[in-house]
Amino acid sequence: MFKRNELNFLRLLFFASIGLLINMIRKPPLKEWLIIFLFKSYIASILDNLAVKKGYITYPVRIFRTFDISVLFSYLIFPVTCVYYNHASKDSKLPGIVIKCLLFSIPSAIAEHFIEKNTKLVQYKKGWNSYYSFISIAFSFLFVRLFMAVVRKVEKVQANN
């Protein structure tokens, strides 16, 4: 019974994320949002796979059982959230970028903490905790944001040549 509720919760997250993704791709600049989405998916899958292989995190209940990682989180929820973070911080200076990073990272870490404590969707092992999740979430948001700042700068230089 508990597993059925968790799978329903994952389905709800899936459809909500798809809705947010559709909303996201309707707004310009589509090319940037897709770069962010795909780059974040790539980073999240590497980090998630590493954490699972090292035994820090497990996902006992998964929609796609053939994968050890949370495909829904790594390839949909986290990348969509990162696109919205980049959209919110696109024209911000460093203090605004950091504050907005916290505004996106803290709720994500709190949600993961709640899910870890109350479901079998994610389990922390080997000393992993919500603080490490928060740090990894915030770092990856900032890393992707920095990457996109570099992409935008290079694109501007190339357009001027």
The span from the CA of 145 to the CA of 160, in Å, is 23
Comparing CA positions, the residue from 93, 99, 106 lying closest to residue 149 is: 93
Per-residue pLDDT of the chain (161 residues; tens, 9 = 90+): 457 788 888 888 889 999 998 888 888 889 999 999 999 999 999 998 999 999 999 988 877 777 777 888 889 999 999 999 999 999 999 999 999 999 999 999 999 999 999 988 899 998 899 999 999 999 999 999 999 999 999 999 998 87
Q: Is 58 helix (H, G, I), strand (E, B) or coil?
A: strand
Q: What pLDDT does 1 receive?
A: 44
Residue 38 backbone dihedrals phi, psi, to 5 degrees: -70, -40
The span from the CA of 17 to the CA of 77, in Å, is 6
pTM, two decimals, is: 0.89
Tokens in use for 159?
């357009």
Tokens in use for 30?
């589509």
Tokens in use for 23?
């909303």
What is the C-alpha radius of gyration for the chain, rounded to an integer number of angstroms?
17
Q: What is the dihedral of CA 101, 104, 109, 112, to 10 degrees?
A: -150
Quote the DSSP letter at residue 75. I
